[in-house]
A and B are shown apart, each in its own frame.
Chain A
Amino acid sequence: MSGPRERAAGLLRWYPRAWRARYGEEFTELLLADLAERPRSAARTADVIRGGFVARLADAGLCGCAPQVPELARAQARAGLASIACCAAVFLGVGGAIWSQLVIGWQWSAPATAGTVVATFVMTGTVLVLALLTLLAALPVAWTVATRFAAGRARSLAVPSALFLAGLVIMVVGGRHFGNGWPGTGGHPWARTGLVPGGVAAFCWACTLSVSSFWAHPAALAAFPAAELTWMALSPIALASLVAGAATAVRRAELSPALLRLEGRLAIAACVTMAVFLGAGCAWLAGRTTPPGSPFRPGAIDVAGLAVMALALGVACQAARLSRRCPA
C-alpha cells in the first residue's frame, strides 16, 4: 500500500505540467493535510480528477475566466492559438481528404449533381482562403522564432522547430513522391478541364492518404504496395510532428500583444472559413443522389470525417473566443 506522499503525487499527475510547476508543491501540502484527516475519500479523488481535467482544458486555452493579469492573459491567448492550430490541422487533414477526392474526381468527369458542383467550388475557394490565412499566421511566428534564434535566445524553441521542420520535409517530399506516382492525372479527355491543377489535387490526395476506409478492410489493405502502406502509417506521424512543433513554438515564442491580437483575428477568420467548408461538405453529403461507382459519391468515411471536422471546428471556435481576450 502506498503512503500519503505517493498518493498525493499520484493525484497531482492529473494536472498539466505547467500547473504542477506553479501550484504542485503547495497543492501537495494541502492534499497531505487532507489525506491525514480523511485517509479514504472517493469525493476528494473525484474532485481532484475533475480539477485536473479543468486545469488541462485551461492549459490548452479552452476554458477559464478572462485573466486580468497581462502575463496570464497572453499565456492563455498563446495556448488558445496553439489549440486552434491543432484543430485546424485535424480539420484540414480530414477536409483535405474529402476535397482531394472531389477535385480528383473532377479530373475524370463532370460531377453528376449541381449540389456537388457548388460544394466542390465552395470547398476549393475555402481551401485557398485557409491556405492564405495559414501563410499570414505562420509568417509572423516564423519571423519571431528566427529573430530569437539570431539573438541566441531560442533554446526552448530548438526542439519544436526541429519537429516542425522534420514533419514539413517528410510531408512535402512524401506528398510529392506519392502524388507524382498517382496514375490518375493526364492522358484522358477531362485531364485539362479539372477544377484545380492535377498535381495539386494529387499532392493533397497523397498527404491525406491515411484518411482512408481501407483501415477497416485489412485484406484489401494487405494488397497495397509496401511503400504506400508505410506512407499511410508514417504521414500522420509526420503531420503530428509538424503540428506539435508549430503549436509548441507558438506557445513558447513570446509573441507581442499586437501580434497575438492579429493572430486572434486570423484565427476567427479561419474558423468562419472552416464553417463554410463544413457547410459545403454537409451539402455534398446531403445530395446522395450521385450514382454508385461515381468518384463524387460520399461514403461512410466521409460522414465520419465531417463529424470529426465539426468537432475540431467547435473546439477551435471555443479557443478563438477565449484567446481574443488578450489585453492591450
Chain B
Amino acid sequence: MPVPTDKALDGFGRYAGPATLILASLADGTKHGYALTKDIESFAGVRVAPGTLYEALARLQARGLIEPVESDDRRRPYRLTEVGAATLQAQLDAQRRVADVGLRRLAQGWGLA
C-alpha cells in the first residue's frame, strides 16, 4: 500500500530535513550530488555534508520519491518523481501552516510583523 504523501518522510529521522531540502532543490530540474549541495547552500544557507546527502538520497530513492537519470557522466543526476512532488507539496504546506501560525502569534504578542 503506498505511503500517504504527508507521511512519506516518516522513518527518515534526522534525514527528514536534508530530504526536504533535496526535494525542493530537484523541483526545478535534475541535479547531481555536487549541484544539489551548491543549490541547497544557495537557497537555504546550509551545506549538506556528503555522507548526510547520500544517506538522504538513498532513502528518497528507496521510497520512490526521486529516481536516477541515465547518464554517461560519473556524476549521476537525480530527478523528482510524481510521488516526490506530491510529498514535497505536503511537506511545504505543513511548514507554511507552522510559519503562518508563528508569524501571526509574533505579530499579536510581540508586535513583530
The chain A residues found within 8 Å of chain B, CB to CB, are 19, 23, 25-31, 33-34, 43-44, 47-52, 54-55, 58, 64-69, 72-73, 76
Taking a contact as CB atoms closer than 8 A, the residue among A29, A47, A49, A55 that contacts B58 in the complex is A55
Name the interface residues of B6-42: CB closer than 8 Å to any CB of A: 10-12, 32-34, 37
Contact A26-B75, Cβ < 8 Å, known A33-B34, A69-B64: yes
Does A23 lie within 8 Å of B50, measured CB to CB? no
Contact A30-B53, Cβ < 8 Å, known A65-B11, A66-B3, A66-B11: yes
Contacts of B45 in A (CB 8 A): none
Name the interface residues of B23-74: CB closer than 8 Å to any CB of A: 32-34, 37, 49-55, 57-59, 61-64, 74
Contact A72-B51, Cβ < 8 Å, known A30-B33, A30-B37, A66-B3: no
**Could you tell me the distance in whole angstroms from the C-beta of A170 to the nearest C-beta in chain B?**
39
Contact A29-B74, Cβ < 8 Å, known A47-B52, A48-B50: yes
B2 is an interface residue with CB less than 8 A from chain A: yes
Contacts of A33 in B (CB 8 A): 34
Does B62 lie within 8 Å of A64, measured CB to CB? yes
Does A54 lie within 8 Å of B63, measured CB to CB? no
**Count: A-B pairs, CB below 8 Å:** 85
Taking a contact as CB atoms closer than 8 A, the residue among B10, B37, B51 that contacts A48 in the complex is B51
Taking a contact as CB atoms closer than 8 A, the residue among B2, B10, B74 that contacts A26 in the complex is B74
Contacts of A67 in B (CB 8 A): 62-63
Does B52 lie within 8 Å of A51, measured CB to CB? yes
Q: Who on chain B is nearest to A28 by CB?
A: B74
Does B34 lie within 8 Å of A30, measured CB to CB? yes
Cα of A73 to Cα of B32 in the assembled complex, Å: 24
Contact A64-B59, Cβ < 8 Å, known A25-B74, A26-B75, A30-B33: yes
Does B51 lie within 8 Å of A51, measured CB to CB? yes
Q: Who on chain A is nearest to B62 by CB?
A: A67
Taking a contact as CB atoms closer than 8 A, the residue among A28, A43, A54 that contacts B55 in the complex is A54
Does B58 lie within 8 Å of A26, measured CB to CB? no
Q: Who on chain B is nearest to A30 by CB?
A: B33
Contact A26-B32, Cβ < 8 Å, known A47-B49, A65-B11: yes
Q: Who on chain A is nearest to B32 by CB?
A: A26
Cα of A30 to Cα of B56 in the assembled complex, Å: 14
Does B75 lie within 8 Å of A29, measured CB to CB? yes
Contacts of B11 in A (CB 8 A): 64-66
Does B54 lie within 8 Å of A27, measured CB to CB? yes
* Beyond A25-B74, A30-B32, A51-B52, 17 additional pairs, beta carbon < 8 A: A23-B54, A25-B76, A26-B32, A26-B33, A26-B74, A26-B76, A27-B50, A29-B32, A30-B50, A33-B34, A34-B34, A34-B50, A47-B50, A49-B51, A52-B51, A64-B59, A68-B64
Contact A68-B54, Cβ < 8 Å, known A26-B32, A26-B75: no
**Could you tell me the distance in whole angstroms from the C-beta of B99 to the nearest C-beta in chain A?**
26
Does A68 lie within 8 Å of B34, measured CB to CB? no
- The listed residue with most A CB atoms (<10 A of its CB), out of B3, B34, B64, is B34
Lowest 5 CB-CB distances: which A-B pairs, in order? A51-B51, A65-B11, A67-B62, A47-B49, A30-B33
Cα of A164 to Cα of B10 in the assembled complex, Å: 38
Of the A-B pairs whose beta carbons lie under 8 Å apart in the complex, a sample of 28, sorted by A's number, is: A23-B54, A23-B57, A26-B32, A26-B74, A28-B74, A29-B33, A30-B32, A30-B34, A30-B37, A30-B50, A34-B50, A44-B51, A47-B49, A47-B50, A47-B51, A48-B49, A51-B51, A52-B51, A64-B11, A64-B58, A64-B59, A65-B10, A65-B62, A66-B63, A68-B62, A69-B62, A69-B63, A72-B62
